[in-house]
Amino acid sequence: MSTLAGKHIVLGLSGGIAAFKSAELCRALVKAGVTVQVVMTEAAEQFMTAVTLQALSGRPVYTSQWDPREANNMAHINLSREADAIVVAPASADFMSKLLHGGADELLSLMCLARPLDKVPLIVAPAMNREMWSNPATQRNVAQLKADGIHVLDVGQGDQACGETGDGRMLEAEEILEDLEAFFSPKVLAGQQVLVTAGPTYEAIDPVRGITNLSSGKMGFAIARAARLAGADVTLVAGPVSLATPRGVKRVNVRSARDMLQAVQAHVPERGVFVATAAVADWRPANAADQKIKKDGSGQTPELSFVENPDILATVAQSAAAQKGDLFCVGFAAESHDLLAHATAKRARKQVPLLVGNIGPATFGQDDNALLLVDAHGARELPHTSKQALAVLLIQDIAQRLGGAQA
């Protein structure tokens, strides 16, 4: 379930072509379980109709501070008091300047000024031409808005309606939704550095063939996202998968097990959390051919010999122990049978405080999973559900363990 579920958000639209994205944002918020109250400026109505936003939100849209539907004629008070947050998307350069100076000449700005500062956060998603965005006046305004406690989202980069290309685009609806998820998520890992490995590795036999496995990387990517939502600084070392990088996560792409070990050693924090989710190939061909191995019609198969790949989790865990660092290592075991026995043995062998087991053939490529958490005291099951939900539960469990260790 989304951390936004049950929230009530006032979605404000100021004037700008990016208002078309606000329709998709409104729809996404409702789908996430949010009740959405739309408030539009007169300029916003030049780009998007109130009818559209009413249909998507399921609530009447407010466009005037003189709206007679409010018995006390104080929409700016009533609407702001009911909200868990006010989100202005798009926020034009003019509207942000108005916020900075306390302007209140229409309902949306009046409502932003009248909101209880300690109860109703204000979040703005800027949208404007690249020259307007880079103008020193705009940048001063953004800096001061942040100093005033207003949460200013990033801008996107790319083609703009004016025909120019650069910074200043409003973020896409799914990006804003992700930032709102992060804003409302409990920051149980605030200040922590988290390193996650995900996906398979690929060990070359020749330039066109190799050894790999069926890991999709979805569990590891979900864990990286959940750690970021929990306030951590997250680096994701990913094997060859075609998944989008979770928003706010630094990604390092690798191919082989040795590549992954090198990347992990370069990014592993001295203090923090290492979650080894990747399904690393246990072996690799001893000598990869420089050219494609061809059939010769004899029926004879090529002779392949293998060598063992480095054990990334054990290497990192032993290094952390030797240096007496504060690195909390979490391993993953993808098994085909006897999960508890194999996971328990693997945890002891790797010398890590927590080992997470799952049945690989049942979960590879799927969006759901079931996990078994194994530590020195026994095992606990996390029930079958989506990988995103399991990732949140796992991060909460890790945070509790870190809290206990720090206490």
Active site residues: 162
What is the C-alpha end-to-end distance of the chain, expressed in Å? 30
Between CA 206 and CA 285 the distance in angstroms is 9
Between CA 365 and CA 353 the distance in angstroms is 27
DSSP code of residue 305: -
DSSP code of residue 336: S
The rounded Cα 381 to chain-centroid distance in angstroms is: 25
The rounded Cα 233 to chain-centroid distance in angstroms is: 11
CB 139 within 8 A of CB 104: no
The upper half-sphere exposure of residue 271, i.e. CA atoms within 13 Å in the direction of its Cβ, equals 6
DSSP per-residue codes, 359-373: EHHHHTT-SEEEEEE
Amino acid at 100: L
